[in-house]
Amino acid sequence: MWQLSATEVVNKLKTGEVSPLEIMDVAIERIQKVEPHINALPIQFFDEARDIAKKFKCPKNPSLGWLGGLPIAVKDYNDVAGQLTTYGSPIYANNRPTQDDLTVATLRSNGAIPLAKSNVPEFAGSHTFNPVWGLTKNPWNLGKTAGGSSGGAAASLASGESWLANGSCLGGSLRIPASFCGVVGLRPSPGIVPRGKGLPAFDSLWVDGPMARNVSDLGLMLDAMAASSSHDPLSRITQAGGFQAAILESRPPKRMSFSTNLGLRSIDPEVGEICKSAANKFALMGCTVSDDIPDFSGSIESFQVLRALLFADVRGELLPKEKERINPDIVWNIEKGLNLSVNEIIQARRTRHDLFHRIARFFDTHDLLICPTVAVSAFPIEQRFPTEINGEVLTSYIDWMYLTFVITLVGCPAISIPCGLNKEGLPVGLQLIGRPHGDAQLLSYAKLLEQAIAFDASPAFFQNF
């Protein structure tokens, strides 16, 4: 049962072929077998989840994203009532919120049952390790990183511990772990998934979103997460008919562009070739493929400034008393934000505004922009972050994430789908970027390409469990 897709399991739940309690026990058994090897879901509340599953009832008119009592993994940046939310930090090691946050409450209202929290880096980052729960390993190679910050979520999906998992994204935290673990992660447009009070209300850099094993399951998860809420000022009306319906109406794009690096910096040549080969499958569907791309100049510097400003806003108050207990990379990012000049902030904002208008003009004549999700493959777990790419020396702990974080700036929906394996047998992700507010259309394109690539997302090691 754990090998079935989320869509298949939910259909069985809807018809009564299996009960929520039976599915819950399948998930718990799988987690207990796998967890000692990967440490993806360290916070577990199985007894509470089983109690909810026993009493679970389906309404007469379920929503488009109704999950029917499906167990899900919740990221340890999100609040589940009565359970730990640590952010991977010893400062919050005993933090137990009394209420679900808005993301979790929406999922629960659509028939999801949280049963565990997925591991994260401390506060943020794209390698999942922290002093509270330790390190999460990649199911494809236990010596490699699962990525982050939704690394535990991605690893739980790849190893069959969960059918669906939520994640969040600032610089690539949904897409990067999806790429490294051979699963699917979507950064939706801001406002599709409502966010709670834990983040600045008007910030559009950080979004919550879905992760799954395939695009169809991702559409199901997004339907379960999407909602209009008066508690989120960016929230907007959801997709008419639902995202799953849009996937079923897939048609190839007419014109797209592919770039290995968006004209910015170095990339692992093997990653570039794997992604180029996968993207060209659209040409076989009659799509015109070009190398025209928007001008991304200044985007790396702009994101670095705006990310630092957000860190100073959200975590700056911790620094005076807790500096010694915070990851030095996060301290660096907070201090960078606190020391920004007015001119630096204004220039970063202007660059972001100009970049958005350039990419909007690009989508006047193109349906898709495609590039690798990450410039490198999953790196060794002993390494905090890559320090060079193909001979180019990097200067900060997030430089290597540039292909995802410059897309964060423009607010376009972006999805990572697995497109092949490198010579080490590690998954490589392809990033598809859609036009502003074009989430449904993007998912339909991703489904077509997923079918054409026919990637086998099954780490061999875990098939024996």
Q: Which residues are catalytic?
A: 75, 149, 173
Distance CA 124, CA 76 (A): 11
- DSSP calls for 193-256: S---TTS-TT--S-EEEEEESSHHHHHHHHHHH----TT-TT--PPPTT-HHHHHHT----SEE
Q: How far is residue 281 from each of residues 8, 213, 374, 434, measured CA to CA in Å?
A: 27, 21, 20, 17
Confirm if 337 and 365 have CB atoms less than 8 A apart: no
User: What one-character-per-residue DSSP string does 189-207 give?
Assistant: PTTSS---TTS-TT--S-E
Say which residues have a Cβ less than 8 Å from residue 123's Cβ, sequence separation at least 6. Answer: 87, 88, 89, 315, 326, 327, 330
Residue type, 260: T
- 74 three-state secondary structure: strand
- Contact by Cβ (8 Å): 103, 388: no
The three-state secondary structure class of 463 is helix
Contact 213, 6 (CB under 8 A): yes
228 prior amide bond cis, ω within 30 = no
| CB neighbour list of residue 163: distance below 8 Å, 6 or more residues apart | 2, 4, 5, 6, 9, 27, 70, 71, 72, 157, 212, 213, 217
Spell 294-306 as b/e; 16+ CB within 10 A means b: bebebbbebbbbb
User: In whole angstroms, what is the distance from residue 378 CA to residue 396 CA?
Assistant: 18
Sign (positive/negative) of CA torsion 372, 376, 381, 385? negative
> Which residue in the block uniquely carries the two structure tokens 């054409």?
452
Task: Please report, for residues 236, 331, 332, 375, 377, the alpha-carbon distance to residue 386 in angstroms, rounded to integers and kept in the order given.
Answer: 38, 19, 17, 10, 10
CA–CA separation, 303 and 307 (whole Å): 6
Would you give the DSSP letter of residue 354? H
Among 154, 173, 174, which Cα is nearest to 164's? 154
